[in-house]
Amino acid sequence: MTATTDTPPEDLRDRMVDHIAEAGHLRSATVERALRTVPRHLFVPDATVPDAYANRSITIKPGEPGGRPASCISVPTVVAMMLDQLDARPGHRVLEIGAGTGYNAALLAELVGDTGQVTTVDIHPDVTEHARRALDATGYDRVHVVTGDGTLGHPDHASYDRIIVTVGPWDLPPAWLAQLALGGRLVVPLTWRGQTRSVAFIKQEDGVLRATDSRLCGFIPMIGDGQDGERKIRIAEDVDLHFDPDQPIDLAALHGVLDREAVTVWSGASVAPMESTDLIWPRFTGVEPGTCRFAAGNTAVEAGLCNPAFKYSSPALVENDSLAYLTLRGLEPNATERRFELGATGHGPLGTDLAERLCAVIRTWDHDRTAQPVITAYTAGIPNADLVDGQVIDKRFVRLVIST
């Protein structure tokens, strides 16, 4: 049902776009125009109109009880961010993996115009049925809606100038690379070393994908071949590590590691409340092969077992029977603001060394907080001698190299 409201949908839509701009996620006039044009509330008819224009995701297909949704409409700021990365232009042929409500496909149709083409693919028939109805009802019947496995892309309309993925893959399937035109752009919320970032890859003349722009995000995990790669182990009550299969992380070696003496090292770098630290994590992945995600619940933190900077998602380093994770502490407030110093807490025989190494990367980040690592994706099987310098992350279909 769509609840009544005293504020017209057009005004709520303008407020939504104004908020996105104020948050710094709206850098393109064409994306702004599309966001102010497409009636988002008509793609989520079971939501109230105010909720449709709030800065939150809306579930359209629940998942397993107690688990994540199977499909949703993404947070507007994330939608704008990824469209900015995609840079879709009039006449472009665009493939979208993950149809959702059809809202993002409508925005893409606005961006590519009547001379362009948009194809959106989803594995759930009820999701594509919803998207088809919503697109037809709002005048975007020219969008092609396909029910199928998104990991296979859609070869019928290839090659594509742009591919955008609106579900969260762990790997890059060969079909996406094959169906992307040379010089084309792939925007994908890729997971590696426990974090997920929206990466804007450009296909080079040699077929390699290269990215100099990645931004923090979170998405529903993708269903399909090769997409269940991330591993998780419980190292203590209410404390988990998330990592990749190519990392030699051994649960038995880490047994009881948090019961060992904690050593905390401080970096000297500080942040204000709500100030972003998200580029620290990809920097770690370009320097340290043992980077992973440290996730602690309330029980572990309240019991004093650990004190991560961000309870459920802090970068950590693991080596043999030792680990260190990102932490912080409040500093004495000055006349204008409160600040928090970043540091690292280590446990185990190598705990101090790992904490020092974490702090070294934090200090490098502090010197230039906007610097991004270069992310290069090669097809699996490419020998090391043919890779650029950097940390290599081996997945099933690709070899990622993170270069700082």
Cα(61)–Cα(127) distance, integer angstroms? 8
Domain of residue 299 covers: 231-367
Let me know if residue 385 belongs to a domain.
no
- Please check whether residues 193 and 275 belong to one and the same domain: no
- Please check whether residues 207 and 237 belong to one and the same domain: no
In this structure, what token pair is assigned to residue 22? Answer: 């104020």
Put simply, whether the predicted model's pTM sits higher than 0.75 gets the answer: yes
- Please check whether residues 210 and 236 belong to one and the same domain: no
- Please check whether residues 42 and 161 belong to one and the same domain: yes
| Pair 36, 96: CB distance under 8 Å | no
Helix (H, G, I), strand (E, B), or coil: what is residue 51? helix
The pLDDT assigned to 219 comes to 79
| Pair 77, 55: CB distance under 8 Å | yes
- Please check whether residues 49 and 95 belong to one and the same domain: yes
Number of domains in the chain: 2
CA dist 152 → 101, 121, 223, 363, 380 (Å)? 21, 10, 12, 42, 17
- Please check whether residues 54 and 112 belong to one and the same domain: yes
Residues serving a catalytic function are: 74
The CATH number of the domain holding residue 118 is 3.40.50.150
The pLDDT assigned to 2 comes to 42
pLDDT tier for residue 66 given thresholds of 50, 70 and 90:
low
- Please check whether residues 271 and 173 belong to one and the same domain: no
Cα(382)–Cα(397) distance, integer angstroms? 11
Cα(9)–Cα(27) distance, integer angstroms? 23
| Phi and psi, residue 202, nearest 5° | -120, 130
Helix (H, G, I), strand (E, B), or coil: what is residue 338? coil
Let me know if residue 224 belongs to a domain.
no
Let me know if residue 381 belongs to a domain.
no
| Phi and psi, residue 316, nearest 5° | -145, 160
65 pLDDT higher than 80: no
Axis-axis angle for helices 29-37, 103-112 (nearest 10):
130
Q: Which of 220, 360, 240, 345 has its CA nearest to residue 297?
A: 240
- Please check whether residues 172 and 38 belong to one and the same domain: yes
- Tokens 């793609």, residue located: 43
Q: What is the pLDDT of residues 169-189, one digit of tens each?
A: 999 999 999 999 999 999 999
Let me know if residue 394 belongs to a domain.
no
- Please check whether residues 197 and 170 belong to one and the same domain: yes
Let me know if residue 383 belongs to a domain.
no
Q: What is the pLDDT of residues 184-239, one digit of tens each?
A: 999 999 999 999 999 999 999 999 999 999 999 887 788 777 677 899 999 999 99
